[in-house]
Amino acid sequence: MTNSDFIEIINDRENNLQNVSLKIPKNQLTVFTGVSGSGKSSIIFETIAQEAGRQLNSTYDSFTRLYLPHYHRPDVDAVHNLSPAIVIDQKPLGGNARSTLGTVSDISALFRILFSRFGRPQYGSGSNAFSFNDPAGMCPDCEGIGKTYWIDESAILDDHLSLAEGAIQLPGYGPKGFQYQALKATGWFDLDLPVAEYSAETRERLLNGECPVTVAFKETIFNVNFEGLIRQFTRQNLRNGKGNTEGARKKIEKFATMQPCPTCGGKRFNPSVLAAKIKGYNIYDLTALQLDDLLEVLATFDETAMAGLIAGIRERVQGLVDVGLDYLSLTRETTTLSGGESQRVKTVKYLANSLTGMLYILDEPSTGLHPRDVHRLNALLCRLRDKGNTVLVVEHDPDVIQVADYVVDMGPGAGIHGGQVMFTGTYDALRDSDTLTAQYLNRHLPINPTPRQAQDFLTSRPSSRHNLKNVALAIPKGLFTVITGVAGSGKSTLVEQVFAQEHPEAIQITQRPLHANSRSNPATYMGVLNDIREQLATANGVSDSLFSANSAGACPKCQGKGTLELNLSFMENATIECPVCHGGRFDPQVLQYQLRGKNIQEIMAMTVEEASAFFTDTKVAKKLTQLQEVGLDYLALGQPLSTLSGGEGQRLKIAKELNKKGNLYILDEPTTGLHAADIKVIIGIINRLVDRGNTVIVIEHNLDVMRSADWLIDIGPDGGSKGGEILYSGPVAGVTAVERSVTGQYLK
């Protein structure tokens, strides 16, 4: 092989990497393994993806670069033979109310052509007539959104007040306001009578009436139309897509709620579009079908004239089905897809295009997939590779690691205890290695032989939300319960939407990023920073505010940001380290004050582990112990929370809860981002929460977590309309006897 058969990294020192040099074969599937925090992301995201983006950007002139994403130069001597890199991450697809699975997958576009040619009676000209995002196709009342705002009368009017007393809650209607003067000028309303006592006719005028009036306001005479409250609110806030921006929505939602549009019933299209049919189906009927059902219906569309189009649609739908998304429909709004679902949709999109010679980088694509469906993901990764691409994947799932052409194992530990390459080679060679990863690949935990006994239950009323078949949930109090089932079976609907609604006391610990500003870090999150500041203040006889990089102690040059923005006018803006504090964020004056030989900046640079040796007093030490117990001893006290992975963030949230009692916790896939060795730690933490008298519900696909639980509730048997039943509820071992349960078969 020549050198260009490899991506070559020379002396990588990014984050915790210890001068890593590494060759990664091109046009192959390489999986990166290793405990959380060992440095996998530092290599593939922070080094390879950054450097690929940076090298690509540098081929453009400086003006064009202004419009390109910014990449930093990784701390590495060299990276050779990179290709353009595409990161397929788990960020939700997002989009707005007009984005659906159909629109983002481009399948809606094909349906539009199909109906514009073959729909009968024929409608419009050109395929845009069949778009709910085009005036020609949209329902005129909801403008293609499928939902409309319903104004909540009780929110805009406080009935038992009179208008003079301020009955109207909308802004601008105060007695001195223009709107109030206009309303008064109609002569329709008794301003001193409580609105509740108005006749039905007067009330209707107040809400929806219209009347020309003359108003004297601030020494000017205005001739305007008085409009009733609802009429005016609708015109000003809701028409012409005005209600679709985030800011507008916040304002509107105080007074109105989204309901299905009464005109189109949520179908988004106008009646002419819906009247055009092929074989008895209109465009909405087809796109609302679950994808597996859609494939069956399309198989009956066998006229030769449409064969080419139908084949194109079926191929794309099949692509989505192949990654286990058979339970979705094309009408599903992208904003409601989970991170894992979003990532699979993106992967299918990249597969459908014909680019080759690319570098695809995926972060734990097995997230959200039941072991039953992992082989579908494997097939997808292999197809990406077989099209002539290099595929790099961070993964912990043994079934994915197994299909890798090449494995890079990082370790041995996390943070400063990691950052080295422990192994490179084939899967078979990995199994024979003496790495931590190999130890776990070769064995798994037994089914919990001594489950805690169920006594009382927390229940929710029967629900038919989404795909649920009138299902009630009963969770044993004070136990560790795992909720299982294939993707789309209804786990999140039942637990997070139905059950949690009825139990608002539940504490949901999700993978969503911590709501943190750029100055939050583990020390502020756990609340130890105030204690540390006080200790520094007492030791030096000064004010504790000096030790805050947000107030008195901030570096005067960068105001405590640690960096400066350089505006180079015609070049891209550059961020540089602050020359005064060197990124430490504190006023250099403050650094003269020490606690047992360390200043505030040195303390914030300590890892949790180092800090626990330094702070032996109970208050700080206790909280640091909580961080160590969830396996985060390698984090620095001052590491910005924005740099934590989803899994690290989730464990930080758990750490804060560790010493509480009598709570109800819901954890959504806590093993995401975790190596088998970390998973053992998480199982220990959950048991510890339960031992302290808490009830813990865990939605999981990891078999070791399932085996370790006290109680298992399996939902299925399949996804979407073929799921939504509780197949089993009881001690874990019992599920293996349930034939309809896929989970049961995998636990055998």
Binding site for ligand ADP (CB under 6 A): 15-16, 34, 36-42, 327-328, 332, 336, 410, 414-415, 466-467, 485, 487-493, 634-635, 639, 643, 645, 720
What minimum distance in Å lies between the beta carbon of 497 and ligand ADP?
Answer: 7
> How many angstroms from the chain centroid is the CA of residue 580?
38
What minimum distance in Å lies between the beta carbon of 169 and ligand ADP?
Answer: 30
Of ligand ADP, Zn ion, none, which one does residue 463 interact with (CB within 5 to 8 Å by kind)?
none
Of Zn ion, ligand ADP, none, which one does residue 558 interact with (CB within 5 to 8 Å by kind)?
Zn ion
d(CA 522, CA 514): 11
Of Zn ion, ligand ADP, none, which one does residue 36 interact with (CB within 5 to 8 Å by kind)?
ligand ADP
Residue 652 in the binding site for Zn ion (CB under 5 A): no
Residue 600 in the binding site for Zn ion (CB under 5 A): no
Residue 578 in the binding site for Zn ion (CB under 5 A): yes
**Token couple for 114:** 């199909």
Residue 97 in the binding site for Zn ion (CB under 5 A): no
Residues forming a β-bridge with 220: 217
Handedness of CA 540, 542, 545, 547 (dihedral sign): negative
Residue 274 in the binding site for Zn ion (CB under 5 A): no
Residue 263 in the binding site for Zn ion (CB under 5 A): yes
DSSP 3-state percent helix, strand, coil across the chain (nearest 5):
40, 20, 40
**Token couple for 102:** 């159909």
What minimum distance in Å lies between the beta carbon of 281 and Zn ion?
Answer: 20
What minimum distance in Å lies between the beta carbon of 514 and Zn ion?
Answer: 25
Instruction: With CA atoms as reference, report the closest residue to 364 among 34, 747, 105.
Output: 34
Residues 381-400 touching Zn ion, rule: CB under 5 A, are none
What minimum distance in Å lies between the beta carbon of 605 and Zn ion?
Answer: 15
What minimum distance in Å lies between the beta carbon of 98 and Zn ion?
Answer: 13
Of Zn ion, ligand ADP, none, which one does residue 181 interact with (CB within 5 to 8 Å by kind)?
none
Of ligand ADP, Zn ion, none, which one does residue 264 interact with (CB within 5 to 8 Å by kind)?
Zn ion
**Token couple for 337:** 């897809």
Residue 264 in the binding site for Zn ion (CB under 5 A): yes
For 261-285, give the DSSP string: -TTTTT--B-HHHHH-BBTTB-HHH
What minimum distance in Å lies between the beta carbon of 656 and ligand ADP?
Answer: 18
Nearer to ligand ADP by Cβ, of 361 and 546: the residue is: 361
Residues in the chain: 748
**Token couple for 213:** 């009036």
Q: Which amino acid is at 124?
A: G
Long-range contacts, stretch 610-613, CB < 8 angstroms, 24+ apart: 611/637
What minimum distance in Å lies between the beta carbon of 146 and ligand ADP?
Answer: 12
Nearer to ligand ADP by Cβ, of 391 and 632: the residue is: 632
Q: Which amino acid is at 602?
A: E
Of Zn ion, ligand ADP, none, which one does residue 685 interact with (CB within 5 to 8 Å by kind)?
none
Nearer to ligand ADP by Cβ, of 238 and 632: the residue is: 632
**Token couple for 306:** 């449409």
What minimum distance in Å lies between the beta carbon of 147 and ligand ADP?
Answer: 12
- Rounded CA Rg of the chain: 30
Q: On the CB side of 303, how many CA atoms lie within 13 Å of its CA?
A: 8
> In this structure, how many other beta carbons lie within 10 angstroms of the beta carbon of residue 59?
8
**Token couple for 700:** 């999981």
Of ligand ADP, Zn ion, none, which one does residue 415 interact with (CB within 5 to 8 Å by kind)?
ligand ADP
d(CA 387, CA 88): 17
Residues 124-143 touching Zn ion, rule: CB under 5 A, are 139, 141-142
Neighbouring residues of 351: CB distance < 8 A, sequence distance ≥ 6: 319, 380, 383, 384, 387
> Which stretches of the chain bind Zn ion, using CB under 5 A?
139, 141-142, 261, 263-264, 555, 557-558, 578, 580-581
